[in-house]
Amino acid sequence: MTELYNFSGIGRIEASARYASYRRFEVSVGTTEVLPLVYGPEVAEPEGADSPPPDSLPSAEPPPPLPPTTTAELEMMPTPEPVGAIGTLLRKAGDYVVRYEEAFRNVLAVEDSDQQYDEVVRKTSFARKPDGHVTAHYAGDTRRTTRKLRSEIAFAMLPGPVPWTAFREVFEVDGRAVGERGRFERLFRESPSSGVQPALAISRDSHRYGLGFPNRGASVPTMALAFLHPDNRDRFTFEPRSRRAKSGNAAEVAFTEVGRPTLTLDGAGADLPARGRLLLREDDGAVLRTEVEFRSAGSNGRSLRVTTEYRPDSGLALLAPAEMKEVYETAADAEAGWGGGGTESPRPTPTGDRLETTARYSGFHRVGPGSRP
């Protein structure tokens, strides 16, 4: 719960409360004797004093009538948000994401992906000194490989704090047809819920066509939307950034994941905190662009940066992910990065393999019972 109080001439009070450890308890109510209440000091009468008869008491004049009163309904006036605050914008964005989850599910599209993989090939040479000692010299050459993939991608929603899921079936590699196209269409048209497991098996089989980092998992361009969901928003801190004039009525917001465990884990089950930037439309909180970076800890840590651009799609009548860029690389300063608890490093220093991927999406259409073929 977040509260914001603005008092004229006094100042501003902001409070945040979080709740945990819920449990039930029972309350029983008994009966007791209620004693009469006495207000004001009691005055003792002198002994032997008799109370005057009622007829001898002076008559009291009735009090004058009270003037008529008018009642007015209590009017709640919204407190203006301080300059630079983004609470209203985040609420709009959260509502937008909730609606988007319902609109952008069971959607198929074509993904055209360009991959470039720079693999470091390490070489070791030995030399013997005149004194007989042997020294080793290490050197590395970079070997570059490129590949073009064309895939059918299915966007679905699964239970959990990060429900966004994407399944891929590669049907073309460097212009050469592979596999079978159209299986997602049949699976999700008949029954979207029962099509998840077969689609997962197809997607795993298609991983073999990708370059480098075979265990990096499936890339989901819409994943960062989950960070704005009202159920997840308290796990992050948000800060306003400068506006971008070229984007019109939009504001940039930076975020950092502070909740533990993190929403995303690495292959060993360790926390993989996220941070990045969001470009939000101020009118309705629509998400125009997401930039998110993950950094794993350890000397062999890896980093991942994912940037997704959203553009209007006439077929779906909403903003759809138009382009996603990914960069995977090993980092020399991984221990000092966001996941290692040391000094922050804004960009990883590549010392090993690096994979850069650019994916573009087209042909969006919905599938499922009642949708058109």
pLDDT in tens, 225-254: 999 999 999 999 999 986 554 456 999 999
Mean pLDDT, residues 193-197 = 86
pLDDT at 270 over 50: yes
* CA-wise closest residue to 216 among 272, 259, 178: 272
pLDDT of 269: 82
Mean pLDDT, residues 72-93 = 77
Confidence of residue 215 (pLDDT cuts 50, 70, 90): low
Measured between alpha carbons, how far is 212 from 334 in angstroms, rounded to an integer? 19
At 367, the amino acid letter reads V
Q: Are strands 2-7 and 302-313 parallel, antiparallel or unpaired?
A: unpaired
pLDDT at 373 over 50: no
pLDDT of 366: 93
Confidence of residue 180 (pLDDT cuts 50, 70, 90): confident
pLDDT at 53 over 70: no
Residue whose token pair is 């997607």: 203
Highest mean pLDDT among 3-17, 22-36, 135-149, 257-271: 257-271
Measured between alpha carbons, how far is 125 from 24 in angstroms, rounded to an integer? 69
Measured between alpha carbons, how far is 265 from 222 in angstroms, rounded to an integer? 17
Measured between alpha carbons, how far is 19 from 213 in angstroms, rounded to an integer? 40
Measured between alpha carbons, how far is 153 from 364 in angstroms, rounded to an integer? 10
pLDDT of 294: 92
Lowest model confidence (mean pLDDT) among 206-215, 220-229, 318-327 = 206-215
pLDDT at 299 over 60: no
Q: What angle do CA 293, 297, 301 make, to 5 degrees?
A: 80
**CA quadruple 368, 150, 328, 121: dihedral, nearest 10:** 150
pLDDT of 333: 41
Mean pLDDT, residues 156-172 = 92
pLDDT of 27: 56
Alpha-helix residue ranges (DSSP H) falling in the chain: 87-103, 183-190, 196-206
DSSP reduced 3-state for 29: coil
Alpha-carbon distance values, 368 to 111, 141, 373 (Å):
20, 50, 9
Measured between alpha carbons, how far is 324 from 167 in angstroms, rounded to an integer? 15
**CA quadruple 281, 285, 289, 294: dihedral, nearest 10:** 140
pLDDT at 170 over 80: yes
Residue whose token pair is 């905190």: 273
pLDDT at 202 over 60: yes
**pTM score, two decimals?**
0.71
Better-scored residue on pLDDT, 58 or 95: 95
